[in-house]
Structure 1
Amino acid sequence: MTVEEFKLPDVGEGVAEGELVSWLVAPGDRVEEDQPVAEVETDKALVEVPSSYDGVVEELFAEEGEMVPVGDVIISFRVDEDGEAAAGDDAEAEPEPEPDSPDESASEPTTEAADAEPDTPAGRTFAPPSARRLARELGVDVAAVDGSGPGGRVTEADVRAHAEGDAGAADAGGPDDGPEPRPAPTPTDTGSDGRKSAVSKRGADDGSADAPATPAGGPDPAGRETTLATPATRKAARDRDVDIDDVPTDQTRDGEAFVTAEAVNAYADALESPASTPEPEPVETDAGTEPAVTAGDASETSAPASGDETVPYRGVRRTIGKQMERSKFTAPHVTHHDTAEVDALVEAREELKPKAEAEGVKLTYMPFVMKAIVAGLKEYPYLNSELREDDEEIVLKSEYNLGIAVATDAGLMVPVVENVDEKGLFELADAVNDLASRARERKLKPAEMQGGTFSITNFGAIGGEYATPIINYPETAILGLGAIEERPVVRDHADVASEFLDDSDDSTVVPAPTLPLSLSIDHRVVDGAVAAEFANTVMEHLENPLLLLNE
């Protein structure tokens, strides 16, 4: 039986890191090869990470909400020599909060993996994910560190001491003054013994290891060296700005303190109560008496006001921002606006809807628009192109892959419908509905959002007529659709019912369904006249749907 470590794979082209959104397994769970073990949000999509082994989950090395670089170890499995689950493991066994407990050290085998740690006298190295992560950051072999925690467990302080060349300082006393102090914590360290936290405690002095852990009147911090907790509980602690080692608890697992999410929330609520927030002591200044400003206050001068909410700027939202910034600062945008009169389109859709429903397809206007766009792209190929600045060339694409912008809870996603010119209206409707549904459920694969040659955004579905859409770079154009509504249009007498006729002129104003169009182009590649001609071709096909039969 061996313990195999599994690294975060490259889950998409150009992806360097991902946020571990949730674990789908726990220590002690039996998994099969290709079974999803975690959900990871990259800067492209939310993807499931499958296991490469048949075995039993040994240890989780990352916490929910943590940003993990591609190639970092995130989980380990117990497998036998043939890759099967270790014999004797019960498939129904209850997941253990900490599978590498001291009781298992005598019977566990040596880890055999490409990047495995060397053997220790007990056969394995016991260290929580945070200590292992710190060891990787400091370039320390965690197996060579003498653990001072219960059962020889390696703590973060042990890792730091080893990195400073003082691995034995925690256990060996000095000749005169007793134990040698541990290395001073860095500005990101909080609490006692230099433990590292992703957030600073309330009121903590970034430069002092002796800063009070909690405000006066608040609950006393437990100040433990190690704490057992599920990844979800640790995420709750981060969300509440709490050091999990300080949360009081009466529960234990394998002889160590075990903290639940309820205990974290109760402790955080006690910290935030008015009684636990004393007023700063006044100090005398030349200008009079002013409240004292502590180091903690100074570090939070730019913090959000009370009641404000902060949301991490990463994942899909960060990708949208970077993509929009790149597009806007790279391609000079020009937007052309026009309006199509779509009486015939509305009638054609109404006639086809019953047949589409009989085939289980929801027919919207989007497939008609996609076909009209393809007609325009065939006639004006520069709108279906890519400018490659480094090579000083414009690539006219031979494929017609249209991206459809979809609003989701995580932000705007643009799944791509490939080979639109080769699909019928019902086939396109089915493809768009499927992609849009899976985009909202965060189930798209990264490959399904790549390879687009032209994009469409339908802001009219929410409300609105015109906009200035930002090009989905490196494409050269994007078409925005307004809402199809009845608006006043001017018609010749021959095209108007008798009740609308006005004998005073040869034309009259009548209500008719119209579709506003907003076409943004990269003016380096497409001239304004070409954009207008393209829009005219699209409108011609929308106003005469029979022309779409040729596409």
Structure 2
Amino acid sequence: MKFEFKFPDIGEGIHEGVITKWLVEEGSEIKEGDSVAEVETDKVTTEIPSPRTGTVLKLLAKKGDTINVGQVFVTIETEDASEEAVSNGAPEVVEEETAGVVGEVIASSEVIPSSTEGFEKKTEAISAEKVLATPVARALAKDLGVDINKIKGTGPNGRVMKEDIYNASRKETDKEPEEKAKLTDKAVSAILHTAPGERVERVPLTRIRKTISEKMTQSRFTIPHTTAMDEVDISKLYDLRKRYKDSLKDEDVNLTYMPFVIKAAISALKELPEFNASLDMENDELILKKYYDIGIAADTDRGLMVPVIREADRLSIVQLAKAVEDISTRAKNNTIELAELKGSTFTITNYGSIGGYFGIPIINYPESGVLGLGRVTKKPIVRDDEIVIAHVLPLSLSYDHRIIDGASGARFLNKVKELLSEPELLLLKS
């Protein structure tokens, strides 16, 4: 019998993906657990395994197509006569504020149709009462000042997606006449004295790049950023690292400056807990987090990712060095787990690894702060009234000015500087 394979809910708030590669063809035999397609989500690229054994009847999407959770994208001929009934009777998986999903049994405050027959009418009836949307989407709509109940959702069962909210926001704020607006491709070509397509290339955004764009926009236009910058003499830390770096290589440990920075940052977070927090505007509360899950920004071929080191305060310098190497490598190789890319309480980004000195890092929403590291440079400084050559590390701290004042920003950097300039003190206090 025919089994309709729907794009599964793979968790972590993933609602859709883009097919980057089909791993089967129509007519090919497939076993349960074999991968049918490679799909790029807004966080990682992953392979989707078949839940049944049989023959691939039809591929219902093309490479490059976007598919939503619950959408049928493959049909499989199976030997089990009960498959068709199971497939056709399974409800769509919709993540809602009160929805709970266990296997394929769904509890929800809304009436969810078991098939697409009469879909439009039912969706309208539901949306008149309360639109389907995730808590994240509702928060985004509130931040952008958009009435989510007036938005027609494009997701499964009419669910309002983040893209729908951004589109509605742009329409509401764009009060300018369209005629004033735009240079067409033809007009641009005339200005450049060239034919269309000769001097430009249009590259479709990947799902990950679109997500990065949305997250950066959300952070920058939700959180009033301010950035404090300073430099720290890490000459003693440079000598300490140099002394142990080679010996630790034998233990397969790559000893960088990052583990020491993580330790110093956590000490500052414990003294200034507002930096390890997030703001709940809906309830007028500051959420102070008593755990330290540190995000480490990683530059990958697919874009910026922020894998997380859980309970980093409980790890030694050597353990942190191993953890940093592990998550960074797996992020770059696209073998990182989805759960490892969310839930950080504070983020550190090292643009100095590719040559940057000072920068203005953007906060990883909804966190309240991010610490940026520049390139370690040898330069002259004044120490004990003498000019000496020192190893200097630039620091940039961006923080949420709604909940953190400038004085606290300076105190945070002073604490980090104190511990990095005296590594023995750092090890004694951590």
TM-score, length of structure 1 as denominator length: 0.57
Q: Which residue in 2 is equivalent to 1:541?
A: 419
2:405 to 505, 527, 533: 527
| Other-structure match for 1:354 | 246
* Equivalent position to 2:87, from 114, 130, 136: 114
Match of 2:36 in 1: 37
| CA offset digits 1:191-235 (Å, max 9, x no partner) | xxxxxxxxxxxxxxxxxxxxxxxxxxxxxxxxxxxxxxxxxxxxx
| AA in 2 matched with 1:383 | F
For CA contacts below 8 A with separation 6 or more, give which structure has more relative contact order: 2
Distance of 2:44 and 2:245 partners within structure 1: 33
2:60 maps to: 61
**1:369-417 deviations in whole A, cap 9, x for unaligned?**
1111111111111100000111110111111111111111221111111
Q: How far apart are the structure 1 equivalents of 2:257 and 2:31? A: 44
- Alpha-carbon spacing, 1:344–1:50, altered in 2? closer, same or farther (3 Å): same
Q: Deviations over 1:489-529 (max 9, x none)?
A: 1011xxxxxxxxxxxxxx22121101000000000111111
Task: Please give the secondary structure, in 2, of the residue aligned with 1:115.
Answer: helix
**Are residue 372 (structure 1) and residue 371 (structure 2) matched?**
no
In structure 1, the partner of 2:345 is 453
Tell me the distance in 2 between the aligned counterparts of 1:57 and 1:356.
52
Measured in 1, the distance between the counterparts of 2:13 and 2:186 equals 35
- Give, in whole Å, the separation in 2 of the partners of 1:344 and 1:299: 58
1:3–1:112 CA contact under 8 A, matched in 2:
no
2:325 to 419, 433, 437: 433
Distance 2:29 2:320 in 1: 41
- Relative distance call for 1:306 and 1:399 in structure 2 (3 A) is same
Unaligned 5+ runs, structure 2: 90-115, 121-183, 190-195
Identity %: 43
The more displaced of 523-532 and 9-18 is 9-18
Q: Determine the C-alpha separation between the residues in 1 that align with 2:360 and 2:86.
A: 53
Partners of 1:306 and 1:344 in 2: how far apart? Answer: 55
Secondary structure of the corresponding residue to residue 324 of structure 1: helix
Counterparts of 1:138 and 1:391, CA distance in 2: 39
Alpha-carbon distance change, 364 to 29 in structure 1, aligned in 2, over 3 angstroms: farther
Give distance in 1, aligned partners of 2:302 and 2:202: 15
* Distance (whole Å) between structure 2 residues aligned to residue 54 and residue 430 of structure 1: 41
Summarize the Cα distance change of 1:352–1:36 in structure 2 as closer, same or farther, 3 Å threshold.
Answer: farther
SS of 2:409 mapped into structure 1: helix
Task: Report the 3-state secondary structure (helix = DSSP H, G, I; strand = E; otherwise coil) of the residue aligned with 1:374.
Answer: helix
> Mapping of 1:56-135 within 5 angstroms?
56-81=55-80, 111-115=84-88
**Equivalent in the alignment of 2:305:** 413
CA contact (8 A) 2:5 2:87 kept: no
Match status 1:517 vs 2:395: yes
Matched position secondary structure for 1:347: helix
TM-score (structure 2 length as normaliser): 0.73
Residue 299 (structure 1) shift = 9.0
Partner residue in 1 for 2:158: none
Mapped pair 1:329 → 2:302: no
Q: Choose 436-445 or 454-463, whichever is displaced more.
A: 436-445
Closer/same/farther in 2, CA of residues 318 and 79 from structure 1, 3 Å limit? same
User: For 1:7-18, what aligned pairs fall within 5 Å after superposition?
Assistant: 7-18=6-17
Q: CA RMSD in A?
A: 2.5
CA-to-partner distance for each residue in 1:244-283, whole Å, 9 max, x for gaps?
xxxxxxxxxxxxxxxxxxxxxxxxxxxxxxxxxxxxxxxx
Q: Structure 2 CA distance, aligned partners of 1:137 and 1:390? A: 38
Which amino acid is the alignment partner of residue 69 of structure 2? Answer: V
SS of the aligned residue for 2:9 comes to coil
Q: Which amino acid aligns with 2:232?
A: A
State the AA in 2 paired with 1:79: T
- How far the C-alpha of 1:33 sits from its partner, in A, is 3.0
Q: Are the aligned partners of 1:463 and 1:483 in contact in 2 as well (CA < 8 Å)? A: yes
What is the DSSP-based 3-state SS (H/G/I as helix, E as strand, rest coil) of the residue aligned with 1:327? Answer: helix
Distance 2:359 2:185 in 1: 42
**Residue 307 of structure 1, CA deviation:** 3.7
1:425–1:58 distance in 2 versus 1, CA, 3 Å: farther
Higher CA-based Rg? 1
Corresponding letter in the other structure for 1:516: P
Distance (Å, rounded) in 2 between the aligned partners of 1:57 and 1:417: 41
Relative to total residues, which structure has the larger helix share, 1 or 2?
A: 2
Equivalent residues of 2:277, 2:286 under 8 A apart? yes
Q: Secondary structure at the match of 2:242?
A: helix
User: In 1, distance between residues paired with 2:58 and 2:238?
Assistant: 59
Give the distance between the partners of 2:217 and 2:4, measured in 1 at CA. 38
Which runs of 5 or more residues in structure 1 are unaligned?
A: 84-109, 117-135, 141-297, 493-506
